[in-house]
DNA sequence: GAGCCGGTCATTTTT
DNA sequence: TGACCGGCTC
């Protein structure tokens, strides 16, 4: 099922230990394999101990998978101390240890994008989401360029930059006051620390003697600096990447880092992996055709031995509802015909908002599905409610957490009291939690309002004192009981079914916390500090469930599926209109490339003639990328002069439907073509 | 201080 | 079409 042996370039990449190495790994060329085997090689043959090796990925999921796969190559003893984590977790680990050097306490909070956005909204005095997002991303890009607020303020030469710079200044002050960091700080601050304190840097250089960086094309300036500083003059690292799959420029990813690597490390060795073990020739040819319209940094020609395969289908639909229906019908017909399983299919789309209509269509047909990415478990309101309490326990300076916790469930502390508290605390530069205890403030407020506030604070203080010693799960259970969370959910929700789901989510969180605390040997406070970085629920056996996978194109990177539906292939969506306006079509093309190369055996591209947007019907054009695929590899359906949409599948669809509902006992054959990458 | 209703607005991608 | 915010009333 997996590529039986390592091919020569893969082997070369694994064995090369003489200096810095860049592996240009095309889609499906087995890059994860190279990284995992290289880790094993470093430990077994390279004489480097696991605790001196760090493999860096971009998602927690990728990190987890990588750890799992290394675990199959080595004994637990050999693995001990190995670091496999995201840039952000690595940065956090460093900062927890070095926080005092930077004027932070080790128990600082980490704000996710949502909480950070709220602070920006407050300082900006607006609720316009679009504006907030733009300012937020501007600030983020600045931070990733090591620009201080003062610097941006001086350099601002237009009104917009000026507004952003002033917001940046206030925002950063607020973060400091809360003892909080955002995602960018987790990378930026270690670098700044290393610049200031050479002996701290040296310590970390000695600790992490060999680095492996996955998805190198997605590193931003900060991340590259971090790598550069950590590897130092030794330059002992392997960076693995693919310039054609760089899809995070909007987040600060800097493709130039690939070129910089050559410049900064003249000894850099480059190895290309060009054999694809994933897709059929036709799929690969289509992908190559699309991407060939982009300028090339490194010449690279992907090839496959997996046979010609079926032509790619392009299906024109009447509107978005019709598209969902067509995709589901085709999926069922295909499944029936090829005796596959639901888990062999994926529906990929450009924006999360597109998922809804497909979910609906799948539900209508009782087809099980599983969404990757999208709204994370930890973003659900009921989960954020509980987490607010935990965050507050871990860091009493976390004012946003204080406000959320003290008002959820409602306990008689209202806007009036909070405003007074905020004003009093603000003047004295104290946290809300600290201020609530102080006599000066308490004298200003009537006893009736003070009482619930005081109880709240005392309750939390007591819990906090116990947290280091007592089991995390039990403590949270007790907390929930004390605040009457379950009852509150049922009271405030008009549908008991929704309340039930929410309560189940909360229970899932508690169970997860208990398990995780046990496994990692962490107490509740320590565990809480890592949660902001976790985006997907860990430990879910995703591959095991027989369900259609749904994912954004971005979240699908690194994954593969036997049969892929890439939907919404329209001008305005893919490429996205904003990107077209900003001259970012090349990145959209790479996104298309990523989408196409997820498919192992069959690929269907769908698009609509018209689509409802903001309540209005709008006519749309098929994506330009469709035209870039060679005529002999694509078959059109549903457009004038082409084959009808459902052709032969229509007659079978009812049957397919039926068999789907019966659960199809027959051995569903997964199309395990190759090693997942 | 808390819940309800109506008007307004918008849809990229994520650690 | 739907989500979310803010102002209104109890």
A214 included as an active-site residue: yes
Give the pLDDT confidence score for residue A374 in this predicted structure.
56
A195 included as an active-site residue: no
Q: Among A353-367, A566-580, A606-620, A639-653, which is the least confidently predicted range?
A: A639-653
What is d(CA A470, CA A468) in angstroms, rounded to the nearest whole number?
6
pLDDT tens, position by position, A180-238: 899 999 999 999 999 999 999 999 999 999 999 999 999 999 999 999 999 988 889 99
Give the pLDDT confidence score for residue A421 in this predicted structure.
79
Residue of A39, A82, A1, A3 lying closest to A240 (CA atoms) = A39
- Average predicted confidence (pLDDT) for chain A: 85
For chain A, give the percent of residues with pLDDT over 70. Answer: 92
Binning pLDDT at 50, 70 and 90, where does residue A494 land? low
- Answer whether A8-95+187-277 and A303-368+545-646 agree in fold: yes
Domain at A377-538: CATH code: 1.10.486.10
Q: Which residue has the higher pLDDT, A239 or A375?
A: A239
Give the pLDDT confidence score for residue A4 in this predicted structure.
59
pLDDT tens, position by position, A276-290: 999 999 999 999 999
Q: Which of A86, A223, A245, A604 is catalytic?
A: A245
A31 included as an active-site residue: yes
The CATH number for A109-178, chosen from 1.10.10.160, 3.40.50.150, 1.10.220.110, 1.10.630.10, is 1.10.10.160
Q: What is the pTM of this model?
A: 0.85
The CATH number for A303-368+545-646, chosen from 3.40.50.720, 3.40.50.300, 3.30.450.20, 3.20.20.70, is 3.40.50.300
Mean pLDDT value across residues A410-417: 75
Total residues found in chain A within this entry: 677
Mean pLDDT value across residues A57-86: 91
Q: Is residue A398's beta carbon less than 7 angstroms from any atom in nucleic acid strand B?
A: no
Q: Which residue has the higher pLDDT, A171 or A533?
A: A171
Give the pLDDT confidence score for residue A273 in this predicted structure.
95
HEC sequence for A470-505 = CCHHHHHHHHHHHHCHHHHHHHHCCCHHHHHHHHHH
Residue of A27, A599, A582, A620 lying closest to A301 (CA atoms) = A27
pLDDT tens, position by position, A321-333: 899 999 999 999 9
Give the protein-side footprint of strand C (Cβ within 7 Å): A 127, 612, 614-615
- A129: nt with nearest C1' to CA: B10
Q: What is the number of other CB atoms lying within 10 angstroms of the CB of residue A165?
A: 22
Preceding omega of A488 cis (within 30 degrees of 0): no
Work out the angle between the directed axes of helices A585-596 and A281-291 (0-180°, nearest 10). 180
Preceding omega of A32 cis (within 30 degrees of 0): no
- Angle (nearest 5°) at CA A94 between A88 and A100: 125
A42 pLDDT above the threshold of 50: yes
Work out the angle between the directed axes of helices A113-124 and A159-178 (0-180°, nearest 10). 120
Give the pLDDT confidence score for residue A375 in this predicted structure.
60
Residue of A624, A589, A676, A626 lying closest to A243 (CA atoms) = A589
Give the pLDDT confidence score for residue A261 in this predicted structure.
92
A112 included as an active-site residue: no
Q: Is A429 left (phi over 0), alpha (psi -120 to 50) or beta?
A: left
A399 included as an active-site residue: no
A598 included as an active-site residue: yes
Any known ligand binding at A117? no
Work out the angle between the directed axes of helices A221-231 and A129-144 (0-180°, nearest 10). 30
The CATH architecture of the domain made up of A8-95+187-277 is: 3-Layer(aba) Sandwich (3.40)
A556 pLDDT above the threshold of 80: yes
Binning pLDDT at 50, 70 and 90, where does residue A489 land? confident
Q: Is residue A530's beta carbon less than 7 angstroms from any atom in nucleic acid strand B?
A: no
**A349, A611 Cβ separation under 8 angstroms:** no
What is the Rg, in whole angstroms, of the alpha carbon atoms belonging to chain A?
27
Mean pLDDT value across residues A612-618: 81
Nearest residue (CA) to C1' of B13: A554
Q: Which residue has the higher pLDDT, A388 or A440?
A: A388
Mean pLDDT value across residues A405-430: 78
What is d(CA A357, CA A323) in angstroms, rounded to the nearest whole number?
9
Tell the residue number behind the tokens 């099922």, with chain if given.
A1
First-to-final CA distance of chain A: 13
Tokens standing for residue A212:
């492996």
Mean pLDDT value across residues A636-645: 78
Nearest residue (CA) to C1' of C6: A127
pLDDT tens, position by position, A518-527: 887 888 888 8
Nearest residue (CA) to C1' of B1: A414
A367 pLDDT above the threshold of 80: yes
Tokens standing for residue A380:
């659900």
Nearest residue (CA) to C1' of C3: A614
Domain boundaries, chain A: 8-95+187-277, 109-178, 303-368+545-646, 377-538
Tokens standing for residue A242:
């693919």
- As ranges, strand B nucleotides with an atom below 7 A of a protein CB are 1-3, 9-15
What's the CA–C1' distance between A134 and B8, in Å? 21
Binning pLDDT at 50, 70 and 90, where does residue A36 land? very high
| Dihedral sign from CA coordinates of A610, A598, A336, A663 | negative
What is d(CA A153, CA A165) in angstroms, rounded to the nearest whole number?
5
**A336, A659 Cβ separation under 8 angstroms:** yes
DSSP code of residue A376: -
- Locate the DSSP E strands across A368-423: 369-371
Q: Among A97-111, A266-280, A583-597, which is the least confidently predicted range?
A: A97-111
């Amino acid at each position: 099922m997996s590529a039986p042996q390592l091919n020569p370039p893969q082997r070369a990449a694994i064995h090369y230990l003489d200096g810095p190495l860049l592996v240009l790994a095309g889609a499906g060329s087995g890059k994860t394999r190279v990284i995992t085997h290289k880790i094993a090689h470093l430990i077994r043959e390279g004489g480097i101990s696991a605790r001196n090796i760090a493999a860096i990925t971009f998602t927690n999921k990728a990190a987890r998978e990588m750890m799992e796969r290394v675990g199959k190559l080595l004994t637990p003893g050999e693995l001990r101390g190995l670091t496999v984590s995201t840039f952000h977790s690595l940065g956090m680990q460093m900062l927890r240890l070095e926080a005092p050097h930077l004027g932070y306490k080790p128990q600082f909070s980490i704000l996710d994008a949502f909480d950070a956005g709220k602070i920006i909204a407050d300082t900006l005095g607006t609720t316009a989401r679009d504006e907030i997002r733009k300012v937020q991303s501007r600030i983020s890009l600045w931070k990733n360029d090591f620009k201080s607020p003062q610097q941006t303020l001086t350099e601002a030469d237009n009104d917009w930059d000026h507004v952003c710079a002033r917001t940046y200044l206030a925002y950063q002050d607020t973060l400091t006051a809360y003892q909080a960091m955002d995602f960018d700080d987790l990378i930026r601050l270690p670098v700044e620390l290393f610049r200031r304190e050479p002996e701290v840097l040296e310590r970390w250089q000695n600790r992490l003697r060999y680095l492996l960086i996955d998805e190198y094309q997605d590193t931003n300036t900060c991340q590259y600096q971090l790598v550069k500083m950590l590897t130092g003059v030794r330059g002992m690292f392997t960076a693995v990447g693919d310039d054609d799959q760089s899809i995070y420029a909007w987040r600060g990813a800097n493709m130039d880092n690939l070129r910089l690597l050559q410049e900064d490390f003249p000894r850099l060795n480059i190895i290309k992996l060009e054999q694809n073990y994933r897709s059929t020739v036709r799929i690969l040819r289509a992908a190559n055709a699309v991407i060939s319209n982009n300028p090339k940094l490194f010449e690279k020609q992907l090839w496959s031995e997996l046979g010609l395969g079926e032509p790619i289908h392009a299906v024109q639909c009447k509107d978005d509802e019709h598209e969902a229906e067509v995709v589901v019908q085709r999926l069922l017909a295909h499944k029936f015909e090829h005796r596959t399983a639901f888990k062999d299919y994926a529906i990929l789309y450009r924006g999360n908002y597109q998922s809804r209509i497909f979910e609906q269509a799948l539900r209508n047909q009782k087809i099980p599905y599983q969404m990757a990415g999208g709204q994370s478990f930890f973003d659900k309101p009921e989960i954020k409610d509980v987490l607010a309490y935990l965050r507050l326990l871990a860091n009493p300076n976390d004012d946003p957490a204080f406000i959320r916790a003290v008002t959820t469930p409602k306990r008689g502390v209202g806007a009036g009291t909070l405003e007074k508290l905020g004003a009093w605390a603000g003047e004295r530069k104290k946290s809300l939690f600290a201020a609530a205890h102080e006599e000066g403030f308490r004298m200003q407020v009537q006893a009736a309002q003070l009482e619930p506030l005081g109880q709240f604070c005392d309750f939390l203080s007591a819990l906090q004192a116990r947290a280091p010693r007592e089991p995390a799960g039990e403590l949270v259970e007790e907390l929930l009981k004390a605040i009457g969370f379950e009852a509150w959910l049922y009271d405030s929700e008009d549908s008991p079914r929704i309340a039930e789901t929410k309560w189940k989510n909360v229970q899932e969180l508690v169970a997860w916390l208990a398990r995780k605390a046990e496994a990692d040997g962490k107490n509740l406070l320590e565990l809480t500090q890592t949660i902001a970085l976790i985006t997907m629920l860990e430990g879910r056996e995703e591959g095991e469930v027989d369900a259609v996978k749904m994912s954004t194109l971005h979240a699908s990177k690194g994954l593969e599926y036997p049969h892929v539906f890439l939907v919404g292939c329209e001008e305005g969506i893919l490429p996205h209109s904003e990107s077209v306006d900003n001259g970012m079509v090349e990145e959209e093309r790479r996104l298309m490339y990523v989408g196409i190369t997820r498919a192992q055996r069959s690929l269907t591209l769908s698009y609509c003639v018209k689509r409802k947007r903001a309540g209005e019907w709008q006519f749309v054009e098929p994506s330009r990328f469709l035209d870039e695929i060679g005529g002999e590899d694509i078959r059109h359906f549903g457009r004038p002069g082409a084959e009808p949409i459902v052709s032969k599948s229509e007659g079978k669809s009812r049957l397919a439907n039926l068999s789907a509902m019966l659960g199809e006992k027959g051995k569903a054959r997964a199309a395990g073509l190759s090693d997942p990458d």
